[in-house]
Structure 1
Amino acid sequence: MTSIQPFRPTPEPLAFVAFDFDGTLTDFVQADLRALDTLRRHACPQIEAQAFVDRAVDEIMAFHERVEAGTSDPLRMHAERLGRTLSAYDVICTPGHLGLYVAALIRETRPLSGAAELLTALRQRGLRLALLSNAYDGPEQRARIDACFPERPFEVVVIAGEGEALKPDPRPFAAMLTQLGLSANRGVYVGDSPRHDVVGARASGLRAVLVHPHPSVQEQGKRLGAVHAVSRLGELLPLLAR
C-alpha cells in the first residue's frame, strides 16, 4: 500500500531583505567616540580623552536604564547624557555643545565594510530593501542613514522611536511589513542583537539572520531562532541566495 505523504507547502520565494542599522550596517560606537572627542576638544580640552569617553559611556548606559524604567524621556538622550558628562568637568552643556556633537555624529556615521556592496548586490538580484532601526530620535537617525547611504537604497525606513514601541515588540516590524505591502514569509530580517533583532523578527513571523563577530552571541542568536548566524556582512549574500 502506498503511504500518503504529508503536505509540505513550498516556501515563498524571498522578496525583500530588511536590516537593522546601528551595529549591523554601521558602527555606532566608533562614530560616537569620534563625536565625543570633537566635543571634548571644544568644551574641555584639558580633560584626558579616555577619561572623558569612560564617563560618557557610563552616562549613556545609565540613560538607557532610566528609559527602560520609564524615568527618562528617550528624546532627551543627548541632553541628559552629555549634560551629565560635561557637568562632571564643571562645564555647562549648551545647545551649541549638543549641536556640535550631533553634527559630528552624523558626519562620522559610515558603512561597515561590505555593507554598501551587499546592498547593491541584493538590489541587482531584484530584492527590495527595508530598514528598521530602534533609534529614539527619528529625524536625527534618518540624517545618519542618509549620510551613511546617500544613494538611499532602502524602499522603506522605519524608526521604532517614531511609533508606539521599540524592538523586540512586533509592532515596528508590522509597520515595516505594512509599508512594504508584503507578508512576513516573503522576507528576512538581518540584525546584530539576539534580544532585539532575532526575538522581534521571529515574533513577527520573519526569518532572522544574526551578524555578530563573537561566537557566543552567534550561538545565542541560533538558540533564539536565527536561521543563520554569521560573523560579518560578507558572508550573507550566498546564504540569502539559497
Structure 2
Amino acid sequence: MRELSNTFDSTTRLGGGIEGVLFDIDDTLVDLRSAAIDAFLAIVSDLLEEVTSEHLRLIAEDFADDGAGAYERYMAGEVTFLGQRQLRLNRAFELVDHKPLSEQSYIRWTEDYESLVKDSWKPFNDVLPHLAALSSWGIPYGAVSNNVEAYQRMKLERAGLPGFRVVIGSDTAGAPKPDPAPFLAGCSQLQTAPGRTLYVGDNPINDIQGAENAGLIGIFVDRESIHAAQSAFTVSDLGQLTTLIGQYIDS
C-alpha cells in the first residue's frame, strides 16, 4: 500500500482537509457478488440437476462475475438491463451444454432471481463502522454508481444503508464511470471540491482511473488482494481506511 502521508499532506491536509467521500456501491459497500451467487444457485439447481455442485458453483461465479461481458454492453446502450442478465444466464447454460430458457421461462426466472437477490443484499462487515466514523468526523458521504439511481437507492435501503443523501446513477449523471461526469456530479451534490474528495471503489478502471481523471483522490479497495498495485491508494478493507483517515484527523 502506498504511503498516504505525501498526497494527503500536500493536497488535502488531512487534518480537516477531506471535504467528502464518495463510494462505489456494488462490491464496495454491498456484497453483490455473494448475493448473485446465492440467488443463482437457489434457482438453477433444479434446472441443472445433472450438474455437479462443484460445477454449479463455477458457473454461478461466472454469472456473478459477468464472464459474458454483458454489463458493459448494457452501459453502452446495446442491451437492456434484463437483456444483459439474460446474456449472462445463457452463457452459464452454455458452459454446461444446456439449452437456453425460452423467453417466457426467462421472464419467470428473472422475477424469481430479482426477488431472491434483493433479499440477499448485505453490506460488508466493515461498511457500517466506517460510515459511522465518517459521520463522527463530520465528513459527508455519498455514492456514485454505474446503474440507475432509483435502483441503487433501493439497493442501499434494502441492504441496511439508508443514510446516503447523495446517490448518483449513470442515468442522472448522463454518462457512466469512468467518464468524469458522475464523479463531478457527486462532488457537486456533496458540495465538495474534487481535489478534497475521496472516491472509494473496487474497479481499477471505472472507479479509480475515472475518479483520478476527474480530479478526485482514488482509494482502491482490493478485498481479495488479486490486483497489481494501483496508482491510487490501496486498502484491503474499509477498516484500514478508517484507521488511516483517523490517524491524520487526530494528528
So what's the TM-score if we normalise by structure 1? 0.80
CA gap 1:153/1:44 in 2 versus in 1, 3 angstroms: same
CA distance in 2, matches of 1:207, 1:66: 24
Q: 1:94: Cα distance to partner?
A: 3.2
State the match for 1:121 in structure 2: 133
Q: Map 1:11-22 to 2 at 5 A.
A: 11=13, 13-22=17-26
Deviates more, 1:8-17 or 1:160-169: 8-17
Letter in 1 for 2:84: M
Which of the pair has more CA radius of gyration? 1
State the match for 2:89 in structure 1: 82
State the match for 2:30 in structure 1: 26
Give the 3-state SS of the residue equivalent to 2:17 in structure 1. coil
Deviates more, 1:88-97 or 1:111-120: 88-97
CA distance in 1, matches of 2:100, 2:11: 65
Q: Is the 8 A contact 1:55 1:85 kept in 2?
A: yes
* Aligned length in residues: 227
State the match for 1:4 in structure 2: none
For structure 1, list consecutive stretches of 5 or more residues without a partner in the other structure.
Answer: 1-7
State the match for 1:104 in structure 2: 116
CA distance in 2, matches of 1:180, 1:238: 23
State the match for 1:233 in structure 2: 238
State the match for 1:199 in structure 2: 209
CA distance in 2, matches of 1:69, 1:124: 36
Task: Render the CA deviation track for 1:117-153: whole Å, top value 9, x for unaligned.
Answer: 1111211211111011123x44443322211124x12
Q: Map 1:58-69 to 2 at 5 A.
A: 58=62, 60-64=66-70, 67=73
Q: 1:89: Cα distance to partner?
A: 4.4
Q: Is the 8 A contact 1:20 1:190 kept in 2?
A: yes
Candidates 144, 150, 155, aligned match of 1:132? 144
Candidates 125, 147, 162, aligned match of 2:158? 147
Letter in 2 for 1:148: A
Deviates more, 1:165-174 or 1:209-218: 209-218
Letter in 1 for 2:215: G
Give the 3-state SS of the residue equivalent to 1:78 in structure 2. helix
Candidates 182, 185, 192, aligned match of 1:175? 185
Give the 3-state SS of the residue equivalent to 2:113 in structure 1. helix
Letter in 2 for 1:96: R
Q: Is the 8 A contact 2:144 2:168 kept in 1?
A: yes
Q: Map 1:40-51 to 2 at 5 A.
A: 40-41=44-45, 44=47, 46-48=49-51, 49-51=53-55
So what's the TM-score if we normalise by structure 2? 0.77
Q: 1:164: Cα distance to partner?
A: 3.1
CA gap 1:85/1:156 in 2 versus in 1, 3 angstroms: same
For structure 2, list consecutive stretches of 5 or more residues without a partner in the other structure.
Answer: 1-9
Q: Is the 8 A contact 1:212 1:218 kept in 2?
A: no
What RMSD, in angstroms, separates the aligned Cα atoms of the two structures? Answer: 2.9
Q: Which protein has greater RCO, CA pairs closer than 8 Å, 6+ apart? A: 2
CA distance in 1, matches of 2:200, 2:156: 16
Q: Is the 8 A contact 1:185 1:206 kept in 2?
A: yes
Give the 3-state SS of the residue equivalent to 1:217 in structure 2. coil
Give the 3-state SS of the residue equivalent to 2:227 in structure 1. helix
Deviates more, 1:54-63 or 1:122-131: 54-63
